[in-house]
């Protein structure tokens, strides 16, 4: 089976792109519901989440039920702070501070003893429907991107 590359996607644009736009639009609509219509909040939590469940540090055998049970944090998250998030995302530093404070206030983000930010177990639980929507999006895209799919 050939790997999916940008050339593969380009050559199957008419099938892949409309499905992606339709599925991604639905996903963003779901995201808006959970983030008060503020997609910057989603981006900030995603960046913090990336440092919380760090690729290469998470046991690859972990399942989503494991994540929900809280068994995923057997390591320290990579450090991240307001300044590095602002630089990385291009969102103004004061906006980052204010929006992350909101995420802290609702319990989706917390600080380590050293002051680094991390996504909480509460965010995992409360955003479960959104995670399930992500699974649906990824499954649909995987089916469309499958080179083994008969055409």
pLDDT reported for residue 151: 44
pLDDT reported for residue 150: 45
Q: Which CATH number does 6-143 carry?
A: 1.10.10.10
pLDDT reported for residue 147: 65
pLDDT reported for residue 67: 82
**For 43-98, how does the pLDDT look when each residue is reduced to its tens digit (9 = 90+)?**
999 999 998 888 777 778 888 888 888 765 566 678 999 999 999 999 999 999 99
- Helix 13-34 and helix 128-145: axis angle, to 10°? 180
**For 35-48, how does the pLDDT look when each residue is reduced to its tens digit (9 = 90+)?**
999 999 999 999 99
Is 50 in contact with 61 (CB distance < 8 Å)? no
Domain residue ranges of the chain, discontinuous segments joined by +: 6-143
pLDDT reported for residue 72: 56
Phi, psi dihedrals of residue 73, rounded to the nearest 5°: -95, 70
Annotate the chain with three-state secondary structure.
CCCCCHHHHHHCHHHHHHHHHHHHHHHHHHHHHHCCCCHHHHHHHHHHHHHHCCCCCCCCCCCHHHHHHCCCCCCCCCCCCHHHHHHHHCCCHHHHHHHHHHHHHCCCEEECCCCCEEECHHHHHHCHHHHHHHHHHHHHHHHHHCCCCCC
Span of 22-26, 61-65, 84-88, 140-144 with lowest mean pLDDT: 61-65
Which among 95, 93, 94, 124 is positioned nearest to 108, based on CA atoms?
A: 124
pLDDT reported for residue 58: 78
Instruction: Provide CB contacts within 8 A for 106, sequence distance 6+.
Output: none
- In a 13 Å sphere around the CA of 19, the CA atoms on its Cβ side amount to 16
Task: Find the mean pLDDT for residues 121-132.
Answer: 93
């Amino acid at each position: 089976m050939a790997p999916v590359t940008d050339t593969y996607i380009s050559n199957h644009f008419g099938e892949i792109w409309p499905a992606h736009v339709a599925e991604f639009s639905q996903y963003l609509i779901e995201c808006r519901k959970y983030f008060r219509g503020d997609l910057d909040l989603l981006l900030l939590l995603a960046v913090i989440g990336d440092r919380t469940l760090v690729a290469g540090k998470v046991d690859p055998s972990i399942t989503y039920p494991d994540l929900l049970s809280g068994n995923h944090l057997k390591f320290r998250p990579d450090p991240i702070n307001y300044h590095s998030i602002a630089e990385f995302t291009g969102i103004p530093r004061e906006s980052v501070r204010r929006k992350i404070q909101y995420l802290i206030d609702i319990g989706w983000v917390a600080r380590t003893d050293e002051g680094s930010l991390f996504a909480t177990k509460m965010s995992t639980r409360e955003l479960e429907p959104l995670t399930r929507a992500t699974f649906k999006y990824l499954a649909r895209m995987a089916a469309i991107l499958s080179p083994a799919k008969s055409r």
